[in-house]
Chains A and B, each alone.
Chain A
């Protein structure tokens, strides 16, 4: 047995690092009811969102699969599904998608209960019952090979590509070497570096998959900016990125991909799907922080590691987000938001290897119950399902 963490063994054998109850609306119309239920019962988190109806085809399918994936995430001991009653993605379908995990599951439908106040009451009683049952669960020793981490960086500056991402890459490589999984996403921010990523594929099929998904993403972006009125909206690099010293998307991409270390990519998988292999994975999704971590959590990631040069406080409901900065000034200013000061490399206090090891240990400690700073402060902004054009 390699390194271990203390986690929760779920009914279907999956390993969770938190023991929370998820309150998930099947449609935006029931988001406030879900939020109110969560407010009534500590130890629950809600997943308010703006979708679930007036969608068709792949767009609706991705919403459906992502909501089901969130419900299946092993960090949740139980799920209360909250529906309205007339939505396209029905609460029954959401519940049926989660049911095979064997976890506690209840459904509340506003139209069935009468009104939102009654639905809040019924949902609150379900959540309370689940919370008490979940409180009996004990953490147990689990091999790190059962950990899946999501990688995402936001609010980047030059220290992200220079320090924090390479340090996270060292931690990711260490987890992958022990049989664990690590997910890179942010395809919009890998443009120009795809030839380097493809070199790291485990075989020709995966190399082709990498090139294909990045090419498709670039084509999608081109379509979206074809109209000349969108001329000013075509850049994939933000004002903050420029201010930090990044001059092109390629430069940004080269720095961005460093957080995936040097391991070989074993699989490319679609947004809303769950990977079939373990190891370093590429999730086909755009670069918005929330869309990335939502896709990763829906794929089963129990923890997210998030380098941020300029400093972002955001977090994810029920999935710990570990913030890492390579900028010592940012750490000083935002030390209540940032978990790891990789800026210690820049100031000469630590080596990249040391910080990489520190991040790896933090992953195990957080997996075993230590709260990340975003969790303590209640940051949950990142839940955001991607849309299909």
Chain B
């Protein structure tokens, strides 16, 4: 469960993360990261997975604090995973490092 995955993150991990341009992946199944700082287009961001694996991803556009960006190229109608669960699907294809939000992701639940 994603809850325990989050719990396994140490304070030091998150702390170091928050110091620079950083983002968090909540579950190994996820294809998005959550920005822990405001990011500008072209920023190289240190992405941390819950297991401790860290790698840089260059973001393609402005990603506000708390917003999501793609960790891999995603096709139209491809599922977006956060917390290890599907939170929606892409309205259009997006490249790795692109901003994912209501403008390009859809999810019918609770909307109609």
Contact = CB atoms under 8 A, between A and B. Distances in A.
Contacts, number: 119
A250 B107 contact: yes
Interface stretch (A24-32, A63-71, A240-248, A332-340): A240-248
Given A247-B107, A248-B110, A258-B3, 15 more contacts: A162-B24, A162-B26, A188-B110, A242-B101, A245-B35, A247-B101, A248-B107, A249-B107, A249-B109, A249-B111, A250-B86, A250-B110, A254-B83, A351-B11, A352-B11
Interface string B83-112: 101111000000000001110011101111
B14 A345 contact: yes
B14 A235 contact: no
Nearest to B64: A245
Interface residues of B, number: 42
A225 interface: yes
Interface string A62-90: 00000000000000000000000000000
Residue of A196, A254, A354 with most partner-chain B CB within 10 A:
A254
B85 A352 contact: no
Interface string A243-270: 0110111110011001001100000000
A245 B112 contact: no
A166 B11 contact: no
Contacts of A251: 82-83, 87-88, 107
Contacts of A350: 11
A166 B19 contact: no
Interface residues on A, range: 35 or more
A388 interface: no
Contacts of A225: 112
Contacts of B36: 346
B111 A235 contact: yes
A2 interface: no
A348 B18 contact: yes
Nearest to A345: B14
